[in-house]
Chains A and B, each alone.
Chain A
Amino acid sequence: MSRVSTGRTAVATPAAVRTRIRGRRRDAGAIWRGLFFASAIFLVISIAAIMVMIGRPAIALFAQVRPWAFLFGRVWAPEHGLYGVLPFFAGSLAATGMALLIGGPLGLAGAIYLAKLATPRAQRVMRPAIQLLAGIPSVVYGWVGLTALVPFIRRHSGHVTGFGLLAAGIVLGVMVLPTFISLAEDALRAVPQDIEHGSLALGTTRWQTIAHVIIPAAWPGIAAAGILGLARAIGETMAVQMVLGNSPVIPTGLIVPASTLTSEIVLEMGSTPQGSPANNALFAMGLLLLLVSLGLIVAVRATRREATAGVREAH
């Protein structure tokens, strides 16, 4: 073999040239790879930095306040040394739940329409329109909620303010639609056509086929879309803060002022001195939010895995 290669280099064969080019390519590849690697590292460092930034004040708080009293305390009164965030946590969960209740059915219907019923022409109009929803700044949602939705609820409910979980749930429900619809639509489209045709060939209507074959088959993907919507809703701040009424009590109704973790953080962060227990408590609330979001993302990954496993099993 070595003899052959010396014979070739003697006449500067194309093989030699090729080796040289390949070498240069490898250099360029190394540079690019380094660049991408650096970006990825930067991301990891950012996330770690955020964890540390939030975690340190939170730990400082837990030196003074028992985590139990923090998580399940019903009273938020920093001036009296009470740092219970249950009202905010409950508010966040309730607002998110309302969002899912309102946005879920609406979004699923929209996704079914886009994936299975809409003509190509209607799809061309609807898709950008839905994506536009995602581009509206949340303060605009909040503004519309505050000036249109809250007065509307006040007028029709007889309540004094109209602020509360109902308004927040409606606003959040609309806000999660773009994410939910596009992901749920993808899940519906991923259902193999042969089982759809298999159902139609049995003399079922299009609606029966959608309800009994396509939706069940797409369900893991739809659930993942819902969880991602939840993650978006629970972190939403501005729009919620504007329509929720901001009262630090556990919500007892849909049209009573309440608070969420996010709305409370944004409300108090300017008024608490840095390093004070109250300020540390806000960071701890941030940590709580982060953990909830992380939990949701883990859940999404789990349902996704289940979804792909299911499809692979079926085919």
Chain B
Amino acid sequence: MTTETMSLPTMVPPAREATSAAPETTRAAARGETDPEPQPAVRVRDLSVTYGTTLGIKGVDLDLPERSVTALIGPSGCGKSTFLRALNRMNELFPGVATSGEVLVRWDGRFQDIYAPGVDLVELRKRVGMVFQRPNPFPKSIVENVIYGPRRHGVTDRALLAEAAEEALRQAALWDEVKDKLNAPAAALSGGQQQRLCIARALAVRPDVVLMDEPTASLDPISTGKIEDLLGKLSKDYTIVIVTHSLQQAARVSEKTAFFLNGELVEAAPTLQMMTNPRDRRTENYVTGRFG
């Protein structure tokens, strides 16, 4: 099933046939490994994305375990960001992108294919939030950035919004730094603070899954450290998928790692195993620094 350009989100509820909610035998379990993954929050089946005639990713199967951090690694241009953007259908904002395969997101207790016809993109993106590579705060105040999502989704009560803002800023470990200047422009924050503000902004919508596309790529080491610490805490409540170009980062923050190369998923396994004992020669070459 292919999707065309992004249709205007409608008020149509996501009425669709659920695609199998059967408990899944994880790949790890299928391989007879000992520590089975937690239940997946997102299951990707045979996902391919093409840009015009160029292939972005092809035939990817991957499970993203719930309430844990999955890292996507691989050299530049390997398709890891394309894969990430396929999970909340952001690829469709770029002209000429076609997607096929299934992305099953747990949604109202069952797995639903987000590429099925009639899926409400607004509902999808409320459930699957995103943090971008470069901090992209809106040219508004700090607090207005955080409550932007809830407000657009119909929350008008001031007390409720203030509460949501504080909660999200605390979750993003930014509250103590900004609580005295909530009405200051977001642009006045440092790059690292801006990125945590963007994380808070994503969390304020209360998503199930948070996608992060190299969230520390433009940050200094101290800010990077803060965000990495944050990921560990957030994974207690959220399913996190992070694209990173740094193997060390993947090792530090993730429970599961998926290695992409030339648009294909080479291997996905618990991070420790990926780093120490990869199955595939190509993964081994990459993690030992032979290329990339």
In the complex the two chains form, is B8's CB within 8 Å of A203's CB?
A: no
Asked if B205 and A203 make an inter-chain contact with CB atoms under 8 angstroms apart, the answer reads yes
Digit string of B221-251 for contact with A (CB within 8 Å is 1, else 0)? 0000000000000000000000000000000
20 contacts between A and B (CB under 8 A): A194-B132, A195-B137, A195-B138, A198-B136, A201-B129, A201-B130, A201-B202, A202-B148, A202-B202, A203-B123, A203-B152, A203-B153, A204-B122, A205-B8, A205-B9, A206-B9, A212-B148, A217-B139, A313-B139, A314-B137
Contact with A along B184-200 (1 / 0, CB 8 A): 01011000000000100
The tally of residues in B whose CB lies under 8 Å from a CB in A reads 32
In whole angstroms, what is the CA distance A201 to B187 when docked? 20
Which positions in A face B, CB cutoff 8 Å? 192, 194-195, 197-206, 208, 212-213, 216-217, 310, 313-314
- Taking the closest CB of chain B, its distance from the CB of A258, in whole angstroms, is 41
Considering the chains assembled together, what is the distance between the CA atoms of A314 and B197 in angstroms?
13
Chain B residues whose C-beta falls within 8 Å of the C-beta of A314 in the assembled complex: 137, 139, 187
Contact between chains at B138 and A213 (CB < 8 Å): yes
Q: What number of A-B contacts does a CB cutoff of 8 Å give?
A: 78
> A192 to chain B: which residues have CB within 8 Å?
136
CB of B125 within 8 A of CB of A200, answer yes
Interface set of B (CB-CB < 8 Å, partner A): 8-9, 88, 90, 93, 121-127, 129-130, 132, 134, 136-140, 148-149, 152-153, 185, 187-188, 198, 201-202, 205
Docked CA distance A192–B152 (Å): 20
Contact A202 B132 (CB under 8 A): no
| Least Cβ–Cβ distance between B241 and chain A, in angstroms | 13
Q: Considering only CB atoms, which chain B residue lies closest to A219 in the complex?
A: B139
- The 6 A-B residue pairs whose C-beta atoms are closest, nearest first, are A203-B125, A203-B126, A201-B130, A194-B136, A202-B149, A198-B136
Complex CA–CA separation, A305 to B24 (angstroms): 58
- Complex Cα distance, B148 from A202, in Å, reads 9
A200 pairs with B187, CB closer than 8 A: no
Query: Which residues in B have their C-beta under 8 angstroms from that of A212?
Result: 148, 152
Question: CB-CB < 8 A to B127: which residues of A?
Answer: 203
Query: Would you call B90 and A200 a contact (CB within 8 A)?
Result: yes
Given contacts A310-B139, A313-B185, A314-B137, contact A202 B152 (CB under 8 A): yes
Point out the residues of chain B lying under 8 angstroms from A201, CB to CB: 88, 90, 125, 129-130, 132, 202
